[in-house]
Structures are given as C-alpha cells and as structure tokens.
Chain A
C-alpha cells in the first residue's frame, strides 16, 4: 500500500539519507532541511544543494542528528558531550534513580570517538550518542540483573544483539536502567533494587517496566535508550514520561540477549526525545539475527531517511491517510483528561488531512486476561533457569530441593513469584485447556480483529495508557488495578504489531502537568509508516514542550 503522504516525490529521492555515505569527505548534510530560499524543492534541487552550504542550525527535533552534526563539524567533542550527559545523569540520579549501573568506560569510549574523528576515520551513525540500556538486556562489560536480586552482580559474557548493533553503530552505553524485576510490572516499583520516579513529578511512577529507560531519556540523562515491551513496557512509560517510545513488530529486533519474560510477546524497543531519534535507533538495532530463530528476515529500511521535514510538506500532509480511533479505548475506566488529549490529537491529525473514524475491536477487553495468562505461563518456564545452580545468587543448603527453594525464595520478588505461580497453575495438567489453550484462542481472535481493523485503516490510535502517571504506592496493594493499566497496550503484543507512542498533551498534575501519550498502531512491519505519521504529528504539535520542569529549573 503506498504511503498516503502528499508530495511523494520527496520520498523517492535517494538523497534523503541523513548520513552521507562518506561523512568525512562530505560535510554533513542537514536532515532534510531545505535552504530557506527553496520553499518546495524538487529532488533535483535537493541534489543540487552545494556541499559548501553553511551548516544548518542544529536540528531541534533530533538530538542524535544534531550530535552527529556537531561532532563532524568539530564544534563539539564526544568527550565534552559525554561529560555533559554524565554530569546531568549524576545530578538527576538522586531524584530520578533511573540507573542501576553507570558505565565507567563511557568517557574513554567518547575519547576514542574524538580520536577517530580527528584522524578523519569514518564513524558510525550513532558515534558519541549516549544510550541507556534496560538492565534485562545483556551487556558484556556491565552487570545485567534484570532488576532481580537473584542476578545481583551477574555479568554476562556477551552483548545482546541489539546492544552489539548499537555499539557497532558507534553508540556509547552510558549505563543500565532500572526496571520492574524481569519486566514484570507497570511502575518500576517492582525492581529488586530501587524505585525510579517520574521526572515530571517525583511522587509519581515513571511507568514500567522500562521506567528507568523512559525516565532517563525524559530527564536527558542519555540521548536515547533501549527498553523491552512484553505488554506495554516501552509504550506506557513513554506515555508517563513524555518521551517517544517505539515497540517494533514482533521479530523486528533480535531478542538474543534479552532476558526472556514471555518469549512470544517480548520485543526490544527504544525511547528517544524525538521520533527521528527512535527511527535512527530502530534502524541500528533491527534486522534478522542468526541467534534468534524468531527474528524476521524482513528488510530493514533506513527509517529516519524516510522521515520528511515539515518544511517540505504542504498543509495537509496526511491527506488520504485513514486513521481509526479504537472506540473501546476511550470509554469507561479511562481518565477524562487522557480521553480529551487523545481526542484533540485525533482532530489534529484530521486537520493534517487524515480521515479519522472510530473503529470497534470487540475482542479488546478479552486481551488483558489472555495476556496475563500467556505471559505468566511463559514466564513460569523462562524463569526456571534462575535456580542458583549455575549463576546468580545461591542459597546455602544441605539438600537440592532447599537449594532450589531458598535460592528462588530469597532471590525473586513478590510480583515475580506471583506470576510464576499463576503461570505454573495455568499450565498444569487439568487446567491447561481452560487457561493456556483458551488464552491462545483469544490471542487468535485479537489478531483477527486487528487484521480486520487494519484492512480498513492505515493506522489505529489509542491512548498510550488509560491515565497519566499515578502516585508511587497507589497501586502496589492492588495488582489487578495495576494490570488494568495495561489495557491499551497488551493487545498489540498479542497481535505482534508495531506501535509508536508520541507525547500528545498534558493533564493536570505535578508542577507543570503530566504528559499524555498517543499510541499509533500499524500492520506488521509498518514501522516506517508509524514513524512518518508520528514525525509529522510531533512537528506540528506546536504548543507543547515535553521537557520536565526540573531540568530547566536547575
């Protein structure tokens, strides 16, 4: 299906690459920013941009592109940048507590980048970009605990494929971010180590389970970050923290090195302060991996190069785009402020030319229980390996059964144990058909419903979460209330679809309001489309600035 953005000729030119093939010999090209004298350049005029044109103003939308531009133009050194981020990280940390471990190699790696730039060597597209990595994603040179005490001090001997690819693109891993233990939670309060707070209001949760990664990007402790999304663990914290969060299609990004929670649902995703940044990170980490049999061989486009700057577009850039608002997500149980934010986002999209209609997904409410059965079932199996025998914390015990029992009892947290128990139950003889098998049937139905809706619409939209960030401790005593908060996101995982959350507004709360996220859902492997629409939406959303107030105060 052709992408319905107007002005398609812009999409055809191969010169849209944000990264020139030879970055040193050629001065960095502005990210699709036309010369002000050429309001509607044809591909020819783009090609004709003289290589001696003055450097453009740093992109306001993409931190990654502006870092690259300033490194290659030698206005900034990677070491200065790293120092700046590390300094901000340390100052924000007592308040936000988003990191479980901070790399002691970041400065050294930044200096390496500088040396390479000085020598005129080619550097990767993410050179000098400081990236936070969720602690359930393995890193060779840093501890990786999955947020669990049972893996306290555990150091993997390998990088996850996504991390390896980031490093190969030049990124510097600045540290490991906090999470709900093994990804099980929606608030990051279930971390075995610490509670991360919401950068917008430190009495509130950042969401979860990738709360550390979302909060770190929101408070500019790093440029971008990796998270994992099993039932909304990237999208809901992106919503809560006012950052862009991308959950790719299942299989788009290799899971090798991601500590499995629910293998059939898990996806590594990313956070950025702009859609372009998320797109650049996705391009770096996506693609088939021979170490993950479920990773897709689907071709990986250069996502960011396909994003079009507003300056190129006419007033109705989304003309012809069919957007469906999922009815079931704007009803009971959803915060009024969130509903109105999403509704105004919908009309904003309409103003940009999209055809917005409501669509019903009858299976939507069934997804939540089905998700919790399937995710818990797989988790009960995936977490069996944490038995204290080969690695991780081992209880001293006289007998094998106690070694197992004590290691797991002491090492695993309450929420994790609860889910292991639920999953074990659901898979037990005599219950399998009633729970696991039934949930699989619901999953098939959810997929079917989504398929139908996506046949009629290019994109489906919903809130990123039913509410804005809530208070720390508010739902700790009521797991079901916390689970209900995942209603907006779990269906997408069941169907394996890609979804993007972009900040779309605020509701009251905290000192400066609390961000609200808009979720855009597409067909499998339509990340490109989601990113383009998200990018246009983000650029045209003029009245909001999603920078937490504490950053500007200090």
Chain B
C-alpha cells in the first residue's frame, strides 16, 4: 500500500469502471441498482474469532500463563496505554447513501451505481437503517446520544474514494461518552474491566484498490464504496494486549447480539486500529503513540500489541526513546512482528465541513425509546445472569460469547433443564460437534426442548448417561425426539431390580472360575462382572442398581 507506481495503470481501470457503469446504467433506467433482498445476517459461528471460549482452552493454558508472566516481567517499571479505533461495517440491506446492495466477495464493480461512484450530479440520501443501527449500538455502549447530529465531509484524494471526500461525522457524533464492560478470559487471569467509549459516529466506507501482482498498475473496485460504517473510538483505557483483544471481542459480541453487523474480522467487517504508547510508571504525560493496523483476529491483536509494547519498552531501556516515532506499523503474522508502514509527517488536514447535501439527523425521544425497548439482553447482562445461576466463569464466558448459543442455553433452561447439566452438554458434546462439522448451533437438528428432555431422561434414570451421549449424536445430526429414539431403539434403562438380578445371576453362573477367584480375594473382578452384566443388558442396566445387586450376589453366597 505504501508504494504504488501508477504507470498509466488507471487508464485500464478507467475503462473497466466505465464498462461496468454503462452496463449498470442500461440494466436499470432509474440508474439505481435494484435492491436485492439478500440475507446479510450470516451465521455467527462459535468458531469465529473469539479468544475466550474455543481457543484450545486447556492445552495452551499453561503457555498463556507463562506468556503473561513473561510480559509482566518485561513491562516492569513501564505502563502501556492503548486506545482503539474500530470500524464496524453495518449489515444493512443497502449502502449508506444509495440503493446498492453490498455482498462481500462480489465481482469487482458489480454492486455500484452513479451515486456510490460519485458521478457528477449525484447526491447522497441517507439510509435510515444506518441511524437506527447507530442508535442501537450507542445505547448498548451506554452512550449519550446526540439528539441532533450532522454529517461532515472528510476530504482527501485517493483512487478508492470516488467523491474526493468521505461522508463522516466530525464534531457532533451520534453517540459519545459511553463504556463497555468486559470479563477477561479465565486462562489469561480473568478479571472484570470497564473501558470508556469516547464516541461512535456514522460514516461511509471507501472502495478497494486491487494491486496487480506483476504489472505496475492498480485497479479500483468500488463495491465497498458507500457501505455504512460505525467508527467506535475508545478511551485510552487498555493496558495490555489481552485487554485490547477482549475489548474488541466484546464489540464483536455486541454488534452480533444487536444484529447490526456480522462482525467478521477476516472479511473486514470489524477492523481495529490500535494506538499504543508506553511510559514509565508514575509519568503523567503519554509516550509517543504508534498506530498498529492489519490484525485480522483477536489473538493477532493480542500478540501484535504485546510485541509492540515490548518493542517500545526495549527502546526505553536502551535509552533510545527518540526512536519511538509517530507512525503506522503493520502486524506481520509470519514474523510475529510489527514493521513500519509510513511515518506520519505532521497532522493531515481533512478540511472537515458540514455536508450540505444531507439534512441534520434528528433523533426523537420516541425513536430512541422504541430502540431502547427493542434491545436484546446484552452480553454483560447475560454474563452476570449466568454467574448468578451458579455457573463458573469459564462456563459463563463460553455460553455468553455467542448469542445463538446463549439463546439455545436459555431455551434449554426454560424447558426445565438443570443449569449445570445443560451447560455441560452444550459446552461438551454439542460444541465439539459444531466445531468438527463447522456448524452453528442454529444449524443443528437438535432443539433446546429435546436437549432438556434428554437431560431429564438421564436424570430420572430412564436412560443412562452413556445412552444419552449416543442419542444426542443422533438428535444433532438427524433430529427427532428423545422419546421416539428411546422407544425405537428400545433403550429404556432397566431399573427393575428383579430383571437386573436375573442378569447378574446369569453372568455369575456363566463365569464360575472368575467367581471363585473373586471370592478368593480378587475383588477387582467386580468390574469384570459389572461389564459383563452391562453387556448382557445392551447397556441399559442402571449402573447403580447393577453394582448394588452385583455386590450383594458376589459377597453373599446363597
């Protein structure tokens, strides 16, 4: 991105754009691309970028703790100050100021129109969904809302910016002065934190430059131009990579809970620019801040920031503070290092001024109240509720991480399931299945009702835990009801002591040698007998009863 040679390259692109433009013009006489109904709300998989829950929680725990200690050791005497600017791409059906749809991964320049191409004479008209989504997020972030905000133009030249300015909000953002609560992952030491939100504002995205691999030209793809974004600016409240990553993960959770974005980092629907500075503990003024970009997962954020912190501390320790300069650095996943992208020479002057093409955005009390009432239970509330149910923090974080998982869990409880058992099943076999099959919980054939039925059936002894596991696999992949499966496969647990006694007798009679050995003192053989009885019962014998009866029979020769 830093070095592009445009050797007449835009000429090609010029043509490319023109061609598609004419095509789109012909396709629709009103020249606005037709609104295609498409379902933006793609699945929010548990396997997504969450650091907390799925990332090999047990195996790497010790390593992570070790890393944490290492970081603590290295940062001794210094404090890192971290602030984050996050861009969230909104999953509205159409773009912010025209009727074009946006689908990630579409062919270049296929979801564009004269308006988002910035053709002469075109004007922006605000998509009211953008305001609604901004208010939703503003409320969820505990912000003050601006009853009257406005749009401004941020002006700079770049080929992916068709109008030569970006429609954004400058001095009156739609929301400000909020905060977000997070719980740090247990494996990183845990703890509750509150991070301040400076502001949330609405703006439009720019297009993308596609750099030719071999040739010295670049092409412009304007599909993304005009897609609505919310920029969320945090207070410089974070102190470590994990805090920053967890802040970002919480934003992802929030936008997904609220249904305003798919929050997908790989697709660029959630982009974090992180500002990191370091100062000796006790010093009041901030150190020189460095911006880091290009982190496309939370764990990359965590590592990039911790790397950057130690890089800056090392420079402090070596007496080379002057080498920490205002710059933008990119995270390189390969080398696990940040490197300089560009040095900032003075402040860019974007010559903001009020956007004259758009009326101010006025929020009525009714509108805000309506949205407030429609807010779902947010992750933080959910976590506190789960905590109060008596779940461990590990369980709480896992279940509240994904709203569809949480909804599934809640629905299971509503059907009367035991809290801890429901959590175990979801976090155990069900999560494993989802992970293996790359499915979201809503794609499973299993319903919360059947899960609670299953749990109840085990609890009341109708089936054994072992049979339960088997049935679950069946329910997840093929569906059906617990009752029906139990009946079909004749899986009802044998709880009749007489029936079990008969089985025990049969097994004892068939193994006289072992019985003799047992009675001679080799009591370990009880396991053998139990296994045989269970096998004889096709796994259906109630294990408690079985062991009780078996012990009686073995020890009291009749």
Contact = CB atoms under 8 A, between A and B. Distances in A.
A binds B: yes
Interface stretch (B53-61, B119-127, B371-379): B119-127
A65 interface: no
A385 B118 contact: yes
Contacts of B14: 389-391, 394
Nearest to B153: A381
B351 interface: yes
Given A377-B353, A389-B220, A427-B353, A293 B124 contact: yes
Interface string A219-259: 00000000000000000000000000000000000011111
A368 to B, nearest CB: 20
Nearest to A423: B351
Given A385-B164, A396-B8, A396-B11, A293 B357 contact: yes
Contacts of A546: none
A390 B17 contact: yes
Contacts of A432: 351, 353
Interface string A98-136: 000000000000000000000000000000000000000
B7 interface: yes
A422 interface: no
Contact of B8 (A259, A384, A386, A397): A397
A527 interface: no
A547 B18 CA distance: 45
Contact of A137 (B5, B121, B347): B121
A154 interface: yes
Q: Which among B4, B31, B124, B358 has the greatest number of chain A C-beta atoms within 10 A?
A: B31
B188 interface: no
Interface stretch (B130-138, B155-163, B315-323, B457-465): B155-163
Contacts of B18: 390-391
B125 A290 contact: yes
A381 B353 contact: yes
Contact of B356 (A157, A257, A378, A388): A378
A494 B493 CA distance: 87
Interface string A253-288: 001111110111000000000000000000000000
Given A157-B31, A160-B121, A385-B162, A394 B10 contact: yes
Interface string B45-57: 0000000000000
Contacts of B22: 157
Main secondary structure of the interface of A (DSSP, over half): loop
Contact of B11 (A137, A386, A394): A394
B6 interface: yes
Contact of A256 (B17, B122, B159, B353): B122
Contacts of B6: 397-400, 403
Interface in A46-92: none
A151 interface: yes
A434 interface: no
B8 to A, nearest CB: 6
A198 interface: no
Contact of B351 (A158, A257, A424): A424
Contacts, number: 135
A144 interface: yes
A390 B157 contact: no
Contact of B121 (A156, A378, A399, A427): A156
B21 interface: yes
A426 to B, nearest CB: 9
Interface centre among B31, B122, B124 (most CB of A within 10 A): B122
A157 B121 contact: no
A262 B155 CA distance: 16
B190 interface: no
B170 to A, nearest CB: 11
A146, A160, A381, A404: most-surrounded residue (chain B CB, <10 A)? A381
B10 A157 contact: no
Interface string A136-161: 01100000101000010010111010
Contacts of B352: 427
Contacts of A255: 123
State which size class the interface on B falls in.
35 or more
Contacts of B114: 156-158
B25 interface: yes
A292 B25 contact: no
Interface residues of A, number: 51
B25 A157 contact: yes
Interface string A393-427: 01011111001100000000000000000001001
B518 interface: no
A315 interface: no
B164 A387 contact: yes
Contacts of B17: 390-391
Interface in A6-57: none
A388 B220 CA distance: 13
Contacts of A400: 4, 6, 159
Interface string A289-301: 0111110000000
B359 interface: yes
A503 B359 CA distance: 36
A428 interface: yes
A254 B439 CA distance: 50
B67 to A, nearest CB: 42
Nearest to B348: A429
Contacts of A160: 121
B117 interface: yes
A9 B352 CA distance: 54
B26 to A, nearest CB: 8
Contact of B155 (A256, A291, A381): A381
A268 to B, nearest CB: 11
* Max count, chain A CB within 10 A of own CB: residue among B7, B8, B126, B164: B164
Nearest to B351: A427
Contacts of A154: 120
Nearest to B156: A384
Contacts of B159: 389, 400
A334 B7 CA distance: 55
A391 B25 CA distance: 15
A436 interface: yes
A390 B122 contact: no
A334 B15 CA distance: 52
A156 B114 CA distance: 9
- Of A383, A400, A428, A429, most buried by chain B (CB within 10 Å of CB) is A400
Contacts of B157: 384, 387, 404
Contacts of B356: 262-264, 294, 378
B179 interface: no
A392 to B, nearest CB: 8
Nearest to A402: B6
B490 interface: no
A24 to B, nearest CB: 28
A398 B7 contact: yes
Interface in B144-161: 153, 155, 157, 159
Closest 10 CB pairs of A and B: A384-B164, A157-B25, A264-B356, A263-B356, A427-B351, A257-B121, A158-B31, A138-B121, A259-B120, A400-B6
13 contacts: A156-B119, A157-B31, A158-B30, A381-B153, A381-B165, A389-B13, A390-B162, A397-B6, A398-B7, A399-B5, A427-B351, A428-B351, A429-B351
Given A144-B121, A158-B25, A292-B125, 18 more contacts: A156-B119, A156-B120, A158-B31, A263-B357, A292-B123, A293-B124, A293-B125, A381-B164, A381-B353, A384-B155, A384-B163, A385-B120, A385-B162, A389-B159, A397-B6, A398-B7, A400-B4, A429-B347
Interface of A: 137-138, 144, 146, 151, 154, 156-158, 160, 255-260, 262-264, 290-294, 377-378, 380-381, 383-391, 394, 396-400, 403-404, 424, 427-429, 432, 436
